[in-house]
Structure 1
Amino acid sequence: MKLSTSLVAVKKITSTVPRSNFPDEELEQVAQLILQAEGVINPVILQRSSLDTYEVIAGDFEYYAAARAREIDPRKGEMIGAFLVEEENEEVLKQQVELLRKSKAAVVEPTPPSSTALESRLTNIESRIENRINELKHQQATWEQKLQELKNQIPKKMEPLDMFNNLSLPE
């Protein structure tokens, strides 16, 4: 078979396009939809880069959304459906990708960054960092509460003489 579909572990995929090229809100929204549907309707197209790693040829946005889904729920977001391009039909499939996904190619191709593009990328990065900081603060508060509950369960320290004096004898 010249074109094979497969489930691929998200952690074994890399992309040459920076994540900051895509709005964090959209990635988050698609990640939630991927988790709800338990898959992506628009599969990424991958090329094997080594024995067990792959590189995105097309579908960088979908890949980053799947990576975010994996961050949210590692079990449900572990695998993603993908088309694997083999060496024997690589050129034909790359041409097909260029023609069929032309509208997305403009986003993917590296262009000299303009000031608005840089500002957009920085805003996306800042937003992602703020969200992560808030998640970590919430997690820290939860852990502190659990720690306090455990501390409250520890019996109070008593001196041996006080324990002996307060000992109640069975009648």
Structure 2
Amino acid sequence: MHRAGFPLFTSMWSAPTRTCPRTCVWLAIYNGLSDKIDRFSPDVISIERVFAQSNRNTVLGTAQAAGLAMLAAAQRGIPVALHTPTEAKMAVTGNGQAEKIQVERMVARILKLDRLPQPADAADALAQAICHALRPAGALQGGEREEHLTPAQRQWARAAARQGNHGGVHRGM
């Protein structure tokens, strides 16, 4: 993991060294997250739900960074939303199996950016935020606001319901 995939900052991750062991790296990530949260005062923090991959080190590093973000949010009473990569792709492209370039293009289009988000992981982080922002309260449970969804959001809500995901928002730890 060379950078934490959050849209507010990049390049906060570095490999442990003799002078900065893993705990030092975690502290640097936590402090960076805390500073950004305090500076921008988000109403909610959306985090990619970690899933098993073949690269154990990537999963562990991602889970550790996510845990630090959850801790920083919990300490400030900020709700945390967890969304899978499939949900984020579905939210921005209408296809949960979309290719990375499709996600990048749609994120740029939705946010009216002049160019694709850089680094490439920034599009994933922004897709997480868009995913959560597009999810109206009650929409996945068939709530009264469901009629206000776009066709892509309805498709996404149906897919999420089939997967048994009913919101993914957690308060605190």
Same fold (TM over 0.5): no
TM range (shorter): under 0.3
| Higher radius of gyration, 1 or 2 | 1
Hey, which of these two has a bigger chunk of helix by percent?
Answer: 1
Between 1 and 2, higher relative CO (CA 8 Å, sep ≥ 6) is seen in 1
